[in-house]
Structure 1
Amino acid sequence: MLNCDHPPLAKLIKALKDLDLEAKCALHRLERMPHEGKELRKRLRRQRIDEEMAR
């Protein structure tokens, strides 16, 4: 997402707004189609979170 250690505040705000929009869209989709969600095992979920945090 952000490829530097200390990005400008404007880039941080834009990145947070993009993440917020993505989360809202995902939540809205799950509310509209609750049976479309994916079931993840704990280990796989933890692994994916770790991968995203490493970015």
Structure 2
Amino acid sequence: MAISYFIDKLSQPSSTELESVLGSVFPFWERLIHFIEDNYRMVGELSYGGKNYGWNL
């Protein structure tokens, strides 16, 4: 069983798709991303981790 909603290598998830899957916790996801960018001077990049893991940040 896959541990991700986004397992299609050819279809990188969009922000809209992430929001749809994460639902009410999506604002926390955005806050986490901005916190990392602001405090660690890093920008997250989506990558494909394989058919069992799907897309990662």
Per the normalisation by structure 2, the TM-score is: 0.32
Per the normalisation by structure 1, the TM-score is: 0.33
Q: Structure 1 or 2: larger strand share?
A: 2
Q: Which has the higher contact order (CA 8 A, sep 6+)?
A: 2
Q: Which has the larger radius of gyration?
A: 1
